[in-house]
Amino acid sequence: MRQVFSKTAPAKKLSAEKGSVLIIVLWTAVLLTVLVTAMAGKVRLSAQTVLHNQEVSATWAELMGTLHQAEMELMLEMMAAPVDQEVELTDEGEVRNPRFRFNGQPLALHYPQSEDFVVRVYDHAGKINLNRIPRRNMQMLIEKRLGGLDADPEAVQDLLSAWTDWTDLNDLEGLNGAEEEYYQSLEQGYAPRNNPELDTVEEVLHIRGFADLFEGVNLDAAFTIYGNNRTVNLNLATREAMELLPGLDEELIENILAFREQEDIDNRAEVAEVVPFENLQELSAWIGTNTSQIYSVFVYPRADLDEETLLVLEETQDFINPDPVTQAYMEIVEARSHTALPRIYKIDPYGYLPDTGPPRVHPEDFLFDD
């Protein structure tokens, strides 16, 4: 019997081998493509990271430079003004106090800062000093927060007693007050201050009932614990501080903000040009004309509104804040003299700005216009 060999077998084997090689080549090509793509993506990501780091470093350096220029501005304010320095005048020709520009308005510094950054400085004479507030004034503040004339007298006294126990120098609990026994009984217990000097404005939230009392209030904008001022200067006051002052409502606050853009409020007679007599009686115990040496300095990149939004504002005249920024690099400093750098008390890279909106009142509605 003869053995028969197929002539097509070697050809089929060769074809199969060629197919295998082709598949291997294709898979190798695919793997190399994936590898090259991944490496290219990684290189691109690294390049973008380097670029972003450079941008952040440059922005940070520019921000800190602007901050130091703002500190220099406070030091310059401690110096005697040059004889030939131009002064700002009111429409009536009265000289304006240059220190009143530290009321949160965007500043143009003597050493011009970058156009890409905004500088706002707040004199703490425009805030309520928790470490110097008289007991009677605290009671008035509590009453306003609880509804004014409609405030529950018992609730007012409970809060006032809790405040007194927190800030007195002993651990004796007053009538309806709160001392260590109460605070230690909380889920996360702590000891009361028992000292009139609070360490931070946020500490007030640890006092029984005060977290609810000041819910929604920007505490850093309304209060301070620095300096010795017992009164609030309306030329410098933040909206948040004025909203807490007895005798002031939203309409009066906006008119005060509009009034001080035109001229300084130098005495109570000028306050009376904006605030009715009955309101001034409540407000009188709170206001003064002192400035301080304590400032909150805010610096942040400019974020201008687009042209379309600005056009809408011009057409509708809505009171929309043209500066949408709400958080900024912030430090609290004391400017002691022009020969020493300001003393830094607090730094907050994400500090919340007070309300920076312009007066929410049309010129024809100014209460002080005749």
For residue 11, pLDDT beyond 80: no
Task: Give the whole-angstrom CA distance, residue 287 versus residue 233.
Answer: 6
Residue 99, amino acid: R
**How many C-beta neighbours within 10 Å does residue 212 have?**
10
Task: Give the whole-angstrom CA distance, residue 299 versus residue 116.
Answer: 10
Look at residue 26 in the predicted model and tell me its pLDDT: 82
Q: Work out the average pLDDT over 91-120.
A: 91
Task: Give the whole-angstrom CA distance, residue 110 versus residue 73.
Answer: 7
User: Which CATH architecture does the domain made up of 132-196 adopt?
Assistant: Orthogonal Bundle (1.10)
> What value does the mean pLDDT of the chain take?
89
Task: Give the whole-angstrom CA distance, residue 145 versus residue 152.
Answer: 11
Q: Which of 5-19, 90-104, 222-236, 251-265 is predicted with the least confidence, judged by mean pLDDT?
A: 5-19
H or E, element range at 314: helix 307-316
Interacting residues of 353 by C-beta distance below 8 A, sequence separation 6+: 120, 221, 298, 325, 326, 327, 328, 330
Task: Give the whole-angstrom CA distance, residue 309 versus residue 86.
Answer: 36
Are 275 and 252 in contact by the 8 Å Cβ rule? The answer is yes
For residue 7, pLDDT beyond 60: no
Q: Which residue has the tokens 């501080």?
A: 241
Task: Give the whole-angstrom CA distance, residue 367 versus residue 358.
Answer: 16
Look at residue 370 in the predicted model and tell me its pLDDT: 47
Give percent above pLDDT 70 in the chain.
89
Are 214 and 204 in contact by the 8 Å Cβ rule? The answer is yes
Stronger pLDDT, 350 or 361, i.e. the higher one: 350
The string of pLDDT tens digits covering residues 147-197 is 998 999 999 999 999 999 999 999 999 889 999 999 999 999 999 999 999
For residue 245, pLDDT beyond 90: yes
Q: Return the SS3 of 103.
A: strand
For residue 364, pLDDT beyond 70: no
For residue 6, pLDDT beyond 80: no
Residues present in the chain in total: 370
Q: Are strands 343-352 and 327-334 parallel, antiparallel or unpaired?
A: antiparallel
Task: Give the whole-angstrom CA distance, residue 285 versus residue 119.
Answer: 32
> How many helices (DSSP H) and strands (DSSP E) are in the chain?
11, 9
Task: Give the whole-angstrom CA distance, residue 235 versus residue 259.
Answer: 9
Task: Give the whole-angstrom CA distance, residue 56 versus residue 60.
Answer: 6
How would you write 262-312 as a 3-class SS string? HCCCCCHHHHCCCCCHHHHHHHCCCEECCCCCEEEEEEEECCCCCHHHHHH
Q: Which of 84-93, 105-114, 245-254 is predicted with the least confidence, judged by mean pLDDT?
A: 84-93
Q: What is the DSSP letter of 124?
A: G
Task: Give the whole-angstrom CA distance, residue 311 versus residue 317.
Answer: 10
Look at residue 315 in the predicted model and tell me its pLDDT: 63
| Residue 16 binned pLDDT confidence (cut-offs 50, 70, 90) | low
| Residue 97 binned pLDDT confidence (cut-offs 50, 70, 90) | very high
Q: Where in the chain do CATH 1.10.40.60 domains reside? A: 132-196
